[in-house]
Structure 1
Amino acid sequence: MSPVNSRVPHGQSTLRTVQVLGGGNAGSSVHVRSLTAGLVARGVRVTVCAPAETDRAYGFTAVGAEHVPVPRSSDPVSVAALRTACAGADLVHAHGLHASFRAALALSGRRTPLVVTWHNHAHAEGPRGQLLRVLERRVVKSATLVLGTTSELVDRARHRGARDARLAAVALPRPRTGYEHPERPRSKVRAELGATGRPLLLSVASLDPHRGHELLLDAARAWRLADPVPLVVIAGEGPLRALLQRRIEDEQLPVRLVGRRDDVGELLAAADVALLPGSQEARSVLAQEALHARVPLVAARTGGIGELVGEAAELVPHRDPDAFAAAVLRLLGDPERRQALRDLGALQAATWPTEDETVAQVLSIYDELTQPQPRPLGRGY
């Protein structure tokens, strides 16, 4: 059972909820951890069903939740484990399409309310695209409520047949990576990376397909002609590392792969420009951190990035390396524009919901969906 004390203070919730997470990208995992902490603080008993490594990375148990290791698989054994974990829950909240599909299977035949949050713009073509649409329709048919992190995702859920779809409040906890109070001086970080006397461009993303790394290397060819030549630092690890490193060496690109880092905040504080060449995240963690840290951002216009950053970033067409390269070079040569983006970024970040506001919205939804509905008075009463 949950480690939360069963004697709940007056005015706090007595709900028991289950949060279901798949592999979890950074955005959804950070959100679930933040949401869990806020719910536990308000007396909600929270069980997080997620792969074991996800709890090690994000510390759900550290904020008072019970963690039940459940693999990402939708095989009968995993679904049965999830069904057992959901027994007795007042409400189940699943994050992401595949986690939502598994939750729908686990709750089959039960009347437990299912809330689904779609964090990302899943995209596929051909047979995989057809399967994606089938999964989406199955999930929205089962869900009591679908929350979308962007207006586009809300519209998508409604188009797939959702009974109720609303815009979700999703906050990025601050400060998450230490950019506000870096331990090392900016000059030292830049020197360690090899960016003394030259601009430092930073991208943070796993080295997976669809993250835009190939486009970033294409753009870096144009940056070799600048004086001084900017250094591109990519923080992240993944299956494309060998391929990307080979291209960097063969084409002599001014790019460094520095792997997974625990000091992303300090890297960001040291950067001149943050780069987001492509992302499936509807609310990119890097975009949010860059604006919070007052670092100018150049991003490909994908998913919900435009809705997230407004006028506070340089947005370029998706999959256009020439436009991306040109936007970066223009920004490096225009200190007034960089300052304007810093100021706009701070204003835009101030419009985003806080963690408290996010938890309050979600808890209000939970109360709405779990309160007994009054029975209509029939004729003769």
Structure 2
Amino acid sequence: MTDTPERLPYLAVDVDNHYYEPIDAFTRHLPKEFRSRGVQMLNDGKRIYAVFGGVVNHFIPNPSFDPIIEPGCLDLLFRGEIPEGVDPASLMKVDRLADHPEYQNRDARLKVLDRQRLETVFMLPTFACGVEEGLKHDVEATMASVHAFNLWLDEDWGFHRPDGRFVSAPIISLADPVKAVEEVEFVLGRGAKLVCVRPAPVPGEVRPRSLGDPVHDPVWARLAEAGVPVVFHLSDSGYMAIPALWGGSGVFRGFGKRDPLDMVIMDDRAIHDTIASMIVHQVFTRHPTLKVASIENGSYFVYRLIKRLKKSANNAPYHYKEDPVEQLRNHLWIAPYYEDDVKLLADTIGVDKILFGSDWPHGEGLADPTTFTADIPQFPEFSLEDTRKVMRDNALELLGDVNRVAPGVRDLTATV
């Protein structure tokens, strides 16, 4: 990491911002008949537990988010730069949720965006990233819970509002192919400019399905037609079943000690397999205008995936109507971790497909979002134009919104 960079002469677009869901995010609009089958919040007088389909879930061990971790406090841990002799647990610092209304309130968050010099942020889930896995054995409850969540999200944050500051991504579950199309139509009708799909096999009543199964084509076709990209954000993808084969617990826990082998085995397999399923099962061949983005999954999966796609195309040339590696480069945008090799990624997929994401206000993200530029190579490797693409323009290109100029805070002379 280099020194903190100079202030950018433009406002950035951060594709990885998060809210902390209130405890009624899934229950506020959930129909009564699903209240025991969907998400419940139970209080035993000491703490609040999340219960999915009658089972306590540990994806987020503290679903009240109070106390809450400080943004960026785990930076040294994720960079692998903890000083010798320092206990990694000592890096964890927490605040009272009441001291940070911006985590759950849109108006308070606007003021933070101004201070952080962010033009627009993609607003993505925290707690909700674990719900589909927890409900995967009940497809009806999954679809009802996702719809209830999307109603809450539009009510509290808005899928898209005229000022353009927040682009909130509703969740689309593909578990029920028919209801998935209905949900897509619903969120598009409410103005959604982005949707979030779990990077995982699709649960089914009989067996799981690939994201590339043609049964899901109506969803991909509608999103492609609308020009609305799909975000695959780090989630509980059910991949803890893999380290469980090696003696692991099989349970995804957001925090706390766990067998290091779990992460060595699992790591970025879910996003690798997700993009592989989209390419190998011909989603982009059938829907050539569909755009997808990988957010908070890192970037190192792409090198292994490219190697394997090349091998697959060589071994089964009859299967591919188009070069699978070129499909990856044409359809996939990637927000790398700040500690990733951004120059290597640019050389591999092109600088036009790299996005800036801070993961704010999560503890593993950046305390000050635009310090991401300190991890971008400097001239001559990256020009100022390249840096601007990563920090702003590529995200607007992904949204199909390159000519947008929102009121008051969008040009190079802005001094917010």
| Bucket of the pairwise TM-score, normalised by the shorter protein | 0.3 to 0.5
TM-score by length of 2: 0.31
Q: Which has the larger radius of gyration?
A: 1
TM-score by length of 1: 0.33
